[in-house]
A and B are shown apart, each in its own frame.
Chain A
Amino acid sequence: MTVRVDWRASVALVGRVLQYLSLPLLIPLGVSLYYGEDTLAFLVTVGLVLVLGFGLQALDDDPDIGAREGFLMVALTWLSVGLVGTVPYVLAGLGTESVLAQPANALFESMSGFTTTGATVMEQIGLERHSHALLLWRQLTQWLGGMGIVVLAVAILPELSVGGAQLMDAEAPGPGIEKLTPRIAETARVLWLVYLGFTVLECLLLLGANGLGLAPNMGVFNAVSHALTTMPTGGFSPEARSIEAFSATVQWLIIPFMVAAGTNFALFWRALTGERTALLADSEFRYYAGVLGVFAAVFSGLLFTGLGAGLAEIPAEVAPIPGELEDALRHGLFQTVSLVTTTGYASMDFNTWSNLGKTLLFVAMFLGGSAGSTGGAIKMVRTYVLLKSLKRELFTTVHPEAVEPVRLGGRALDEQALRGIYSFLLLYLLLFFAASVLVMLDATRVGTELSAFEGMAAAATTLGNVGPGFGEFGPMGNYLVFPDTTKLLMVFLMWVGRLEIIPVFVLLTAAYWRS
C-alpha cells in the first residue's frame, strides 16, 4: 500500500506550531520567577517544545498542505499540544502529593484545558496547593484552545496562507467557515483580535468591580484567570468552588461574556465594522438567544418555586433560593448559559438540584454555542437546521411533490450541506452512546459506583467539551473517581469533540490513506 498523504508536510507544520507554543509558555515562566516559585517545570517544557518543534520541522523544509494533509495536521496539532501540555503538570507534581504527577491525570488535565472542556482531576484546586504559575498555565491552555490553535497559526504563519482556509475549516466549530476578509490570515487575525478584545474587557470589568468593592476576592490573579477561561467557554477556575466563590456582581458580570463566547465571532466583527444589525439579523443568533431564554426561564422558575433544588441540600455558601427572585434568576441564567455554551462554570453546586433540574441540564449539555464561536457540543446552527428540516419532512409527507429547500436566514441550504449536518448529528450521538457504554463498562470492571445517568453525563460532558458532570464529578468535584482507562477514553472524546469528530475520524478510514 502506498501512502498518498504527505504526512511529512503535516508533521513539519505541527513542529512549527510547537515552536510557537514556547512563547505562551514564557508567561507562566515569568510568573513563577515573579512569585519565586519552581521555574524548572516551565524551563524544561520550553526547551522540549523547541527541540521537538525544530526536530519535526526538519522533516519537510517546504511543507505543502492539501486537503488530506490539512486534516492530519489539525488532528495531530491538537494531540501533540495536549501531550506537551502534560509536561509542566507532571514536573510540578513530582515529589509532591499532587495527583498530577501521574501522567494519565496530567494528560487529562492538559487535554481538558486545550479543548476548553474544563473537567479537572485536581482534588484540591487553590493556591495553597499549587503554584501561581501552574494554575495560570492551566487557564492559559484554555485561552489558547478557545479560538483555536490552528486559527492562531494561520494568523501568524505565512506558509499557511494557501491551505489556511482548509485548516480553519477542519478546526473551527460549526459547519464551514466564513471568510471575513479576502485573505484567510487576515480573517484569522480578526477573529483572534475580537477574542482578545473581549478577554481584556472582561478582565478590566472584573478588576473594576473589585476596585468598587463589589467583588472582594477578585484580585488581579483571579480577574486574569477568569477572563482567560470565560471567552474560550473553558470553565477552569483557580477557585475550588468555581464562580460560587465570588459575589453576585461577578456572577452577573460573567454571564454576558459567556453569552458572547457562544456567539459567532464573525457577527461581532461585522457589527463592529458598520453592520450594526448584524447580530439581530442573524437567524442562528436569534435562535441561540431564544434557546437561552427558554432554558433560563425554566431553570429560574424551578429554582424560584423550589421544584428545582433539593431544598435541604442548598450549600451554606448559597443564599436560600426558593422565593428569592434575584437569586433564582441569577442561578437559573448562569447555569443555563454556562452549560449551553459549554463553558462549565457553576455559580452554585447544581448537584443539589432535583432530578428534573439535572435532567434538563443534561439536555442543555448537547446544544453548544453558535457556529464560529468558541463553544463545543453540537452547535446551535445544527439543531436549528435539523428542526427546520424535520418540519420540511412533515410538510413533504403531506405534499410529496413539494420542493422545499431548507432555509437559513433566507438563504437556501443545498442538500449536501444538510446531509453533512445529519451525519454529524448521527456520528455525535453514536459516539455519545458508545462512550456511555464504555464508561459504564470500565466502572463495572473496577467496581466504581456510578449511576447510569452519571455515566451518560460523563460521556456527554467530555464529548461536548462542557466540563462538569454530576455526582462525584459535579461542578465542585473532580474526575479522580474514574480509572485511568476511562480518563484516556475521555481524553479521546475531548479531542474529537473539539475538532467536531469528522477531521479525526476521516484519518481512521482506509480511503484517506490510499489514492
Chain B
Amino acid sequence: MRVIVVGAGQVGSTIAASLCEEHEVVVVDLDEDRVEALTFELDVLAVQGDGASLETLRETDIEGADMLIASTDDDETNIVTCGTAKTVGDPFTIARVKTTKYLDTWEHAEGALGVDFMVGTNLLTAKTAAQVIGLPAARDVDTFAGGRVQMAEFEVPEGSPLCGQTVQEADRFDSLTFAAIIRDHEVVIPTGATTIAGGDEVVVIGSNGSVQAMAAEVAPHADTTSDVLIVGGSDVGFQVAKLLERRGLHPRLIERDPERARDLAERLPDTTVLESDATDRDFLEREHIDEVDAVVAALDSDEMNLLASLLAKRLGASRAVAVVDDGDYVPLFEEVGVDVAVNPREATAEEITRFTRERYAENVAVIEDDRAEVLELEIDSDSVLAGRPIRESVADLPEGVVIGAITRGEAFVIPRGETVVEVGDSVVVFVDTEVLEDATAKL
C-alpha cells in the first residue's frame, strides 16, 4: 500500500514510523530541516512542500496512492488537503482535526469534505481520559446510538454476589441484555440457565442507567467512580464532561473564565460548572475534593495540569488523570504522582495507525482480543430482522449473534422475543468473530 502522510510533526512521524515497515510511505512537510531529518531517520520518501497544494501532492504521485493521512497541526489545512487529494486521485483520506465542530459535521454526513475518516483529537483525548475513570469493575466501556446505548465488559470478581447465580437470576434490569460470557478466553452465548462463575467476564448491552446499576451489582463494595471533578473547561474538558454525562454521571467542572463557564453550564445540563481557580485551596476544600473519586486535569497548559492534579491528590482525591500536550512529559508526570497522563498526539497517532491496520468501521467495539465484536447497524429492508419479531429472525442468524439493544429515533427499545424490529431502527449487536461475515451479510 502506498501511503502519503502530510505533516511530519509528532503525530505524522509516529504514524510514518509505524507504517513504513510494511508499506510504502511518503511524508510531506513544509519544514525543510524536518524533511531532511526524516529522510535519514526513517525508510520513507520525504518531500518538502505544502500538502494542501496540488503541485506538491502531484510530486508525491497522489494518483497512485492508496491512502492519504493529513496530520498537520492545522484543522483546515488537513481538511483541504484531503479534499484536494480527492480531486486528482482516489486515496482513502484520513484527516486529523482538533476542534469537535468539524467532527460533528463529518459524523453527520460521513465522507463529507472529501474526508473518508476523521479523527477528532480532542474527542479522542476525552474518550481516553473518560475510559480510564470508567466504571469500577468494567474493563471496557463503549457507547452507541449517540450515547443512548452502552456496552460494558465486566470482570466478575470472586466473591461477587453474581457468582453462582444463573443469568436469569442476575438479569434483574429491565433494559439490559446479557450478550456474552467470556470464560477462559472462550465466548459463551448465555442462556437463562447459564451460571456465572468468579473470573468470568460478562458483556452487557443496555441503557446507561441499567449498565450503571449492573456495575454496582457486580462489585457492590468497590469504590464506585461517580464523583468526578474536571479541571479546566477546554474543549477536552467539555468533551470529558459530555461523555460522563452520557454515562449517567454528574461530574463537576471548574473553569476560571466567567463567560466560558456560563457557556459550558448552558451546554452541559448534568454537570455542575464551578467558576473558580483550580489552585485555590480553600475552594477545593469547600467543594470536598477529598471525597472525589477522580480528577481530570484538562487545562490549557501542561504545567497547570500537573499542579492541579498534584494538589487534588494531596487534598485527598483518589485518582488523577492529566492531559499532557508534550509527549516527553508523560513518564515524568506519571512518576511524580499523576495516575494517568493522556497525550493527545500519542492517542491520535495510535488511533490512526490502528485504523490503517484494521480499517475497522465506525462504532465497533472489539471484545477480548478480537474474539467478538459489538457493532451498531441501521436496519434496512434487506435485513433478516426487518419487520419480524426477534424470536423468528434469530432462527435465520448464525449462533453467536445477540441483539443487545434497539433504538428507534430517540427511544430506547428493549429487545425481547416478541419485539418487532422496524426498518430504520438502530440495532446494537454482539457478534462472535467466527460468524462475523455471515452475520453482517444477513443483518
Residues of A within 8 A of B (CB): 399, 401-405, 407, 410, 412
Expressed in whole angstroms, the minimum distance between the Cβ of A414 and any Cβ of chain B is 9
Q: What are 5 A-B contacts defined by CB distance under 8 Å?
A: A401-B287, A402-B275, A403-B275, A405-B266, A410-B269
Query: Is B403 an interface position by the 8 A CB rule?
Result: no
Assess the A399–B287 pair: CB atoms within 8 A: yes
Closest A residue to B267 by CB, please name it: A412
A407–B275 Cα gap in the complex (Å)? Answer: 18
Closest A residue to B273 by CB, please name it: A403
Query: Is B265 an interface position by the 8 A CB rule?
Result: yes
Assess the B275–A404 pair: CB atoms within 8 A: no
Closest A residue to B277 by CB, please name it: A401
A46–B273 Cα gap in the complex (Å)? Answer: 62
Assess the A401–B265 pair: CB atoms within 8 A: no
Contact with A along B373-394 (1 / 0, CB 8 A): 0000000000000000000000
Assess the B269–A401 pair: CB atoms within 8 A: no
A485–B139 Cα gap in the complex (Å)? Answer: 79
For B275, list chain A residues within 8 Å (CB).
Answer: 401-403
Assess the B269–A403 pair: CB atoms within 8 A: no
Assess the B269–A402 pair: CB atoms within 8 A: no
Query: Is B225 an interface position by the 8 A CB rule?
Result: no
A79–B283 Cα gap in the complex (Å)? Answer: 57
From B269, B272, B287, A407 is in contact (CB under 8 Å) with B269
For B265, list chain A residues within 8 Å (CB).
Answer: 403-405, 412
For B273, list chain A residues within 8 Å (CB).
Answer: 402-404
Contact with A along B262-274 (1 / 0, CB 8 A): 1011100100111
Query: Is B261 an interface position by the 8 A CB rule?
Result: yes
Expressed in whole angstroms, the minimum distance between the Cβ of B277 and any Cβ of chain A is 9
Residues of B within 8 A of A (CB): 254-255, 258, 261-262, 264-266, 269, 272-276, 283, 287
A208–B36 Cα gap in the complex (Å)? Answer: 92
Assess the B266–A412 pair: CB atoms within 8 A: yes
Secondary structure type dominating chain A contacts: loop
For A404, list chain B residues within 8 Å (CB).
Answer: 265, 272-273
A97–B86 Cα gap in the complex (Å)? Answer: 91
For B272, list chain A residues within 8 Å (CB).
Answer: 399, 402, 404
For B287, list chain A residues within 8 Å (CB).
Answer: 399, 401
Assess the B276–A401 pair: CB atoms within 8 A: yes
Secondary structure type dominating chain B contacts: mixed
Expressed in whole angstroms, the minimum distance between the Cβ of B273 and any Cβ of chain A is 4
Q: A399-B287, A401-B283, A405-B266 are in contact. List 9 more A-B contacts (CB 8 A).
A: A399-B274, A401-B254, A401-B287, A402-B272, A402-B275, A403-B255, A403-B264, A403-B275, A405-B265
A404–B250 Cα gap in the complex (Å)? Answer: 13
From A401, A405, A407, A410, B262 is in contact (CB under 8 Å) with A405
A91–B264 Cα gap in the complex (Å)? Answer: 64
A410–B287 Cα gap in the complex (Å)? Answer: 26
Expressed in whole angstroms, the minimum distance between the Cβ of B26 and any Cβ of chain A is 49
Expressed in whole angstroms, the minimum distance between the Cβ of A218 and any Cβ of chain B is 44
For B269, list chain A residues within 8 Å (CB).
Answer: 407, 410
Assess the A403–B262 pair: CB atoms within 8 A: yes
For A401, list chain B residues within 8 Å (CB).
Answer: 254, 274-276, 283, 287
Expressed in whole angstroms, the minimum distance between the Cβ of B318 and any Cβ of chain A is 21
Closest A residue to B258 by CB, please name it: A403
A403–B241 Cα gap in the complex (Å)? Answer: 15
For A402, list chain B residues within 8 Å (CB).
Answer: 272-275
Closest B residue to A415 by CB, please name it: B262
Closest B residue to A398 by CB, please name it: B286
Closest A residue to B265 by CB, please name it: A403
For B266, list chain A residues within 8 Å (CB).
Answer: 405, 412
A38–B254 Cα gap in the complex (Å)? Answer: 76
A159–B286 Cα gap in the complex (Å)? Answer: 60
Closest A residue to B261 by CB, please name it: A403
Expressed in whole angstroms, the minimum distance between the Cβ of A256 and any Cβ of chain B is 28
For B258, B261, B272, which residue has the most chain A Cβ atoms within 10 angstroms? B272
Expressed in whole angstroms, the minimum distance between the Cβ of A408 and any Cβ of chain B is 12
Closest A residue to B283 by CB, please name it: A401
Expressed in whole angstroms, the minimum distance between the Cβ of B250 and any Cβ of chain A is 12
A403–B255 Cα gap in the complex (Å)? Answer: 10
Expressed in whole angstroms, the minimum distance between the Cβ of A388 and any Cβ of chain B is 13
For A403, A404, A407, A410, which residue has the most chain B Cβ atoms within 10 angstroms? A403
Expressed in whole angstroms, the minimum distance between the Cβ of B236 and any Cβ of chain A is 19
Expressed in whole angstroms, the minimum distance between the Cβ of B184 and any Cβ of chain A is 47
A28–B254 Cα gap in the complex (Å)? Answer: 67
Expressed in whole angstroms, the minimum distance between the Cβ of B21 and any Cβ of chain A is 51
Closest B residue to A395 by CB, please name it: B272
For B264, list chain A residues within 8 Å (CB).
Answer: 403
A405–B269 Cα gap in the complex (Å)? Answer: 9
For B258, list chain A residues within 8 Å (CB).
Answer: 403
For B255, list chain A residues within 8 Å (CB).
Answer: 403
Expressed in whole angstroms, the minimum distance between the Cβ of B290 and any Cβ of chain A is 16
Expressed in whole angstroms, the minimum distance between the Cβ of A353 and any Cβ of chain B is 43
A401–B274 Cα gap in the complex (Å)? Answer: 5
Expressed in whole angstroms, the minimum distance between the Cβ of B83 and any Cβ of chain A is 34
For A399, list chain B residues within 8 Å (CB).
Answer: 272, 274, 287
A403–B263 Cα gap in the complex (Å)? Answer: 9
Closest A residue to B276 by CB, please name it: A401
For A401, A404, A410, which residue has the most chain B Cβ atoms within 10 angstroms? A401
For A405, list chain B residues within 8 Å (CB).
Answer: 262, 265-266
For A412, list chain B residues within 8 Å (CB).
Answer: 265-266
Expressed in whole angstroms, the minimum distance between the Cβ of B231 and any Cβ of chain A is 13
Expressed in whole angstroms, the minimum distance between the Cβ of B270 and any Cβ of chain A is 11
A403–B272 Cα gap in the complex (Å)? Answer: 7
A412–B270 Cα gap in the complex (Å)? Answer: 12
For A407, list chain B residues within 8 Å (CB).
Answer: 269
A405–B262 Cα gap in the complex (Å)? Answer: 7
Expressed in whole angstroms, the minimum distance between the Cβ of A504 and any Cβ of chain B is 33
For A410, list chain B residues within 8 Å (CB).
Answer: 269
For B262, list chain A residues within 8 Å (CB).
Answer: 403, 405
Expressed in whole angstroms, the minimum distance between the Cβ of B303 and any Cβ of chain A is 23
A102–B292 Cα gap in the complex (Å)? Answer: 75
A401–B265 Cα gap in the complex (Å)? Answer: 12
Expressed in whole angstroms, the minimum distance between the Cβ of A126 and any Cβ of chain B is 55
Closest A residue to B266 by CB, please name it: A412
Closest B residue to A404 by CB, please name it: B265
Expressed in whole angstroms, the minimum distance between the Cβ of B27 and any Cβ of chain A is 45
For B283, list chain A residues within 8 Å (CB).
Answer: 401
A401–B273 Cα gap in the complex (Å)? Answer: 8
